[in-house]
Amino acid sequence: TVVEPECEKSSATTYYWYREALDISGSLSESGGLNWKMTLSLLVAWVMVCLAMIKGIQSSGKVMYFSSLFPYVVLLCFLVRGLLLNGSVDGIRHMFTPKLEIMLDPKVWREAATQVFFALGLGFGGVIAFSSYNKRDNNCHFDAVLVSFVNFFTSVLATLVVFAVLGFKANIINEKCVIQNSEKILKLLKIGNLSQDMIPHHINFSSITAKDYNLVYDIIKKVKEEEFDSLGLKSCQIENELNKAVQGTGLAFIAFTEAMTHFPASPFWSVMFFFMLVNLGLGSMFGTIEGIITPIVDTFKVRKEILSVICCLVAFLIGLIFVQRSGNYYVTMFDDYSATLPLLLLVILENIAVTRIYGIDKFMEDLKDMLGFSPSRYYYYTWKYVSPLVMLCLLVASIVQMGLSPPGYNAWIEDTATEEFKSYPTWAMLLCVSLMVLALLPVPIVYMVRRCNLVEDSSGSLASVSYKRGRIIKEPVNVEEDNTSLIHGKSPSEVPSPNLGKNIYRKQTGSPTLDTAPNGRYGIGYLMADMPDMPESDL
């Protein structure tokens, strides 16, 4: 048997993650080439996403049922199993114990906001893309409230599972700490460095508990105050282990995985856990890619199948950055600079666009027409004042903190088997700035395109449509080329996501009210005008 120094200095799980799975390099500058195992896994994942996108919203919707519900089954199984483990209560108690000094840190609030954006899919376009397939009278108010509450309780459920398992892991590490330090005390007693009189009579070192050890530890620390550091004894507190902050990939692939190795039938739980992670990843990507594909299909009338393949292929090629040996450092960089700050700014701009530019009063009137009742004024004041103010405060705090703290990453050092903080080189700093600029670039570009009329404004553009009491009335434009393909012979999965067509289909007097277009989407491609007095030519 050959002992691997890197494994011996860290732990089996940590070694497996950094050396076997990632085969990580020592710094961001050392590419190390592609990791073929991860490259193959990345390819398989994108092929699965691509196939779901080609099949369309019906297919991805059905897949989402499984990918959304399966994690709940796994989480509930883990929660029941976790609560039966020794030390799980300590983990849950730690979870619900507030730490005011941490709550005053703006970074915590920024990360909490980012977590909410990611969990709800805000700012990515996926929610808007999926909702564009809804009927006109869909109760979006109920959907929004339901999704928010489900998301909150899911987060609590997942956190309970994590802390129950981490409490179990902390208990195991604490027990090892007690045994090792108890052996040290026995040796010190034998060589005479410690007196037997210091040890309470009821203490039995062969079956000592954590409580008894900490009692002995406190006594020795008081008596041997000056010589205590030289004795080499450590305090064994479960809280010390739980306070060790673990986040990102380290939580799922090291801390949680290491805890699972102590489960009875651990291979079964490992398979369940990682299968759940794959489901969550695929579910997230379905929404994200739908948010990219749908607007392009609606605007340029391209074939969804071809666009899906191109989009997934480009995403796979970009993803090759992350499956290099130094790829994990790029994941950290993209997470910090491409997905956090720009996302916050995009959501602020969305809020401004709806409440200030389009008009909060008009928006509330639209909701009233769609829902059939007036939404609570709570939403009015939240959207207009509270949300932008809170998000602006978060944005300013994030920028200030980013300026004060040196930008860098934690690199894995093979010789010491520990993580070491390293600052980003100059080229990496330029890349970080580029990531933030690229994420925000579509906003000014589309503004200039619209402002300067750089792209020919077809009669189907949103600019030429007025919204009146739930009806969409087209302003007089060049009406020709009756495109009936949206009505005849096409199922929703066969046609691209419809855009505003060039025609108005007049609702016949006395005909039943139609809430949806033939393609399943109200107000897009099927425009109704309830104006029997208007000449057909004007319509």
Question: For the residues 363-386, what does the mean pLDDT come to?
Answer: 92
The rounded radius of gyration (Å) of the Cα atoms in the chain is 30
Question: For the residues 248-277, what does the mean pLDDT come to?
Answer: 86
Distance CA 16, CA 22 (A): 8
Position 354 pLDDT exceeds 90:
yes
CB 113 within 8 A of CB 339: no
Residue 351: the pLDDT is: 93
- CA dist 350 to 145, 355, 387, Å? 19, 9, 11
> Each residue of 442-493: pLDDT tens digit?
889 988 988 888 876 544 444 444 444 444 444 444 444 444 444 444 444 4
Q: Which tokens go with 74?
A: 């796994």
Distance CA 414, CA 18 (A): 9
> Each residue of 479-538: pLDDT tens digit?
444 444 444 444 444 444 444 443 333 333 444 444 443 334 443 333 334 444 544 444
Beta bridge partners of 421: 410
Position 168 pLDDT exceeds 50:
yes
Binding-site residues, in ranges, read 151, 280, 284
Distance CA 420, CA 27 (A): 10
Answer yes or no: pTM beyond 0.75: no
Residue 468: the pLDDT is: 43
Question: For the residues 141-148, what does the mean pLDDT come to?
Answer: 92
Dihedral sign computed on CA atoms, order 61, 62, 65, 71: negative
Binding-site residues for Na(+), in ranges, read 151, 280, 284
User: To which residue do tokens 């030519």 refer?
Assistant: 537
Distance CA 110, CA 402 (A): 11
Distance CA 162, CA 259 (A): 10
- Residue 234's φ and ψ, nearest 5 degrees, are -120, 150
Question: For the residues 279-285, what does the mean pLDDT come to?
Answer: 85
